[in-house]
């Protein structure tokens, strides 16, 4: 009998207030009984993101994006991307508006 969907927590650990997070002198810390849970939750989340992103279109730079612009590029603004967009010689020092 466990207290969470990943099967890593005891019912007491799962019932900790704030999910086991507590405020310490050094800031927020996770209760060690919940550390494994946090790791599993993070792994599950990133696996889901990876899967979702594998459906996304891919920019020539290798970046996947929810949507590519009309040039088939992601939202990056590196020289390479700007060149592909036909924008040349954008001064790097120019402050963005
Ligand atoms: Zn757990
Ligand atoms: Zn790109």
Distance in Å, CA 52 to ligand 1 centroid? 24
What end-to-end distance do the CA atoms of the chain give, in Å?
Answer: 57
Question: Closest by alpha carbon to 56, among 64, 46, 45, 68?
Answer: 64
Interval 5-18: pLDDT, tens: 999 999 999 999 99
Into how many domains does the chain fold? 2
Q: Which ligand is nearest to the CA of 36?
A: 1
Alpha carbon of 25 to ligand 1 centroid (Å): 25
Express each pLDDT in 40-49 by its tens digit.
999 999 999 8
95 in any annotated domain: no
C-alpha 30, offset from chain centre:
20
Entry pTM: 0.53
Asked whether residue 9 is domain-assigned, the answer is: yes
- Domain match, 35 and 65 both: no
The 8 Å CB, 24+ separation contacts for 44-50 are: 44/6
Shared domain check, 43 and 12: yes
Position 16 in a domain? yes
């Amino acid at each position: 009998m466990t207290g969470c969907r990943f099967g890593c927590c005891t019912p007491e650990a799962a019932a900790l207030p704030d999910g086991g997070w507590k405020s310490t002198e050094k800031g927020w810390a996770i209760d060690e009984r919940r550390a494994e849970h946090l790791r599993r939750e993070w792994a599950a989340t990133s696996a889901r993101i990876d899967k979702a992103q594998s459906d996304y279109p891919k920019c020539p730079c290798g970046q996947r994006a929810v949507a590519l612009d009309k040039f088939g590029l992601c939202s990056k603004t590196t020289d390479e991307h700007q060149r592909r967009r036909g924008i040349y010689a954008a001064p790097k020092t120019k402050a963005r508006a």
